[in-house]
Amino acid sequence: MLSFQKNKWHKRFKKIFYYLVIVNLLYIIAYIFISPFRHHNLMLSYDEKINQNEHADVKIATFINHHPELYSDKILISRQGSFSYYGKKGYLSIENPKMIKFYESETIDEAKSILKNLGITHFISPSYPIPPLYNSFLPKILSDLNFSKLEKRINGYSFFSLNNKSYDKKITRYMHSNKWVSSENLQTGKSFLHTNISDQNEIISYDNSKNSNSIWLTEGASRVSYLFEYTTDDQIRFSNHDKARLFAIDGEVLIDGQVGLNAIIFDAQGKITRTESIWKGLGKNRLVKIGGQFELGAKENFKLSFFIHPKSIMKLVKLNLSSINLHSNENPTVKTINHAYKHNSFTLKGSNSKLIFKVSQNIKIIPKIELKGLAGYGALDITFISDCSKINRVTNNYKNSSIYNFLQNNFIRLITLDTIQVYYYVSSFVDSSIPKDKLINPTYDKPLFLSNGERVGCDKYLQLTNSNERENSYIKFSDIHIDGKKI
């Protein structure tokens, strides 16, 4: 064996070995480098990083922190770490032994009443499959529009409210199980339905007419997996054109492996605008339950698709859709950040607490801001934000720049951050224990909103920040007027 070292092959191996170590080290450096730099601006403070990060679970937790008005009691959570650390609200982990009764319940009504008794009013489902989401009564509950409602979905994380009675219960039901097609013109592999289990007497049709490659590619799914799509007929697609709707899916599927269900959403022109991951499940040759919801905006339509993981097979057994119309004014107009809150009047408590108002009126020149019944102690910053991120960049010829642009002029400052413009407007010091009306009337003459702010479709916000360092300093006011009009 020792003679082996002396030959040429050995020398060559030495070199290869050395470069392998180098390559591996370079990989590690790249690996480290991309990890924190992907999601946020480096120079943000730690708190801002949390507020602005892209991780769906933290985003949901901060969303809930900012909207204390949306829930009343406990939230059932499936990823405890991020919620318990970043969230500020009561919660119950899906793995908590208190939930055992729920998992062992025999009827859906029993399951619902157990949730009620535990004080659970909301639920957050994760972007990955978890057993209660396909093995318990949870999917049934999530597909019941009378009992649950999707509030928000971020990257596959869904926030549901349970037993919300405030909306219209005119549920439309659809039975379209026979509309499934399997796509055969995928570039890789063939797709087939698992047909050899004969005791399931439903559905399966092999119609390939409406499938197209573009859906497959836009989906971004792995090329070695299979895609089935559910084509909705014209009646569902184009009825109630001008109203947003909430769809619920209720079904059963036989799977061996891992499967996900997505909704592919199109705009009126037939362009794919987004894909929502509704449900994910897995099993070893077992029947599991499907349940979930997705929201469809006005003038949008959809297709459903199954995402089947490599080496997995499935057979759809049952799938029903139901929908309700959503009221247009469901979105709250006031956001609260940190310890700001709205209760009769508006209160900013502690440093960096913020109130964000959505402004509907047009503001082009310097507006006068009047705060009614202003009291408290601390510095108050008033900022206008113009958010154009919703506008389609291609059609509006939007310049994709990330240059920081500081225009210092008295108190006005402009920051351009890709599609968001922030205007630091004016600072004012509040020191009064008796509520007084205060008119803030800036004395400079720069126009407030520049080109982007005027763009049609940009959202405008007015942000009030308590910038006092003291933890328990508060600023209160009862109302806010811009140019004499209440927002």
Partner 1 sequence: MSIIEQLYYLLIFLLTLMPFVLIAQLLFRISIDNKKILKLSLPVALIMGPVFLSILLELIIRYFPKENNMFYLLYIPFIGISLVVFLLFYCYKKKLFLQGWQYKNIKSVKSKTSIKDDTLTILFIISMIFLFLATLFGFLIENDPLEYASTAKTIYQQKDLTHYPFVDTNFSDGYYGPWTHGLGYINLWVWSYLVAEFDGITNSARFISVYYLLALNFFIIKLSEVFLKTLNIGKLAAIFLCISPVIIGGVIGSHIDIIRIALLFNSLILFYIYLQKPSLKFLIFMSLSVGLALYTHSLNILLFPIIAILWLIHEKKISLSMLKDGFIFLFFSLLFVIPSYIINIKLFGLPIADSGAVPVWGLPNLHYDEWFFILRDLESQVSRLFYGVLKGFTRPDWFGLSYYFFIGAFYYYVSGILKKSGAESCLLTKYLLKVILIFFSFVFITYIFGYDIFIKNYRYQMTIQPFIAFFSAVMLYKYLLIKKNNA
Give me the residues that bind partner 1 (CB under 8 A), please: 1-2, 4-5, 13-14, 17-18, 20-22, 24-29, 31-33, 35-37, 42-43, 45-47, 49-50, 53, 55, 58, 74, 79-82, 84-85, 90-100, 103-104, 128-132, 135-136, 257-258, 282-284, 286, 471
Nearer to partner 1, 137 or 147 (CB): 137
Residue of 469, 480, 438 whose CA lies nearest to 353: 469
Closest approach of Cβ 465 to partner 1, in Å? Answer: 17
Q: How far is the CB of 224 from partner 1 (least distance, A)?
A: 14
Structure tokens at 478: 């009862």
Nearer to partner 1, 103 or 341 (CB): 103
As a 3-state breakdown, the chain gives helix, strand, coil percent values, each rounded to 5, of 25, 40, 40
Q: Which residues pair with 32 in a beta bridge?
A: none
List the one residue out of 352, 357, 350 whose CA is nearest residue 371: 357
Any idea what DSSP says for residue 6?
G
Instruction: CB nearer to partner 1: give 79 or 149.
Output: 79
What length does the chain have?
A: 487
Smallest CA-to-CA distance from 219 within 274, 270, 156, 297 is with 274
**Amino acid letter, 289:** K
Instruction: CB nearer to partner 1: give 317 or 359.
Output: 317
CA 487 to the chain's CA centroid: 26
> Nearest distance from residue 241's CB to partner 1, in Å?
41
Please enumerate in sequence order all residues whose Cβ is within 8 A of that of 13, keeping only pairs 6 or more positions apart, or say none. Answer: none
Per DSSP, the three-state class of 371 is: strand
Whole-Å CA distances, 74 to 58, 62, 68, 90, 161: 17, 16, 12, 5, 10
The least distance separating partner 1 from the CB of residue 33, rounded to whole angstroms, comes to 6
Name which of 49 and 455 has its Cβ closer to partner 1. Answer: 49
Closest approach of partner 1 to the CB of residue 150, in Å = 23
Question: Burial, 237: exposed, middle or buried (Cβ in 10 Å; 0-12, 13-18, 19+)?
Answer: middle
Q: How far apart are CA 315 and CA 145, in angstroms?
A: 25
- Give dist(CA 116, CA 413) in Å, integer: 50
CB of 72 to partner 1, least distance (A): 15
Please give the Cα distance from 403 to 398 (Å, whole number): 14
Among residues 255 and 264, whose Cβ is nearest to partner 1? 255
CB nearer to partner 1: pick between 81 and 297: 81
For partner 1, the closer of residues 26 and 298 by Cβ is 26
Tell me the closest approach of the beta carbon of residue 99 to partner 1, in angstroms: 6
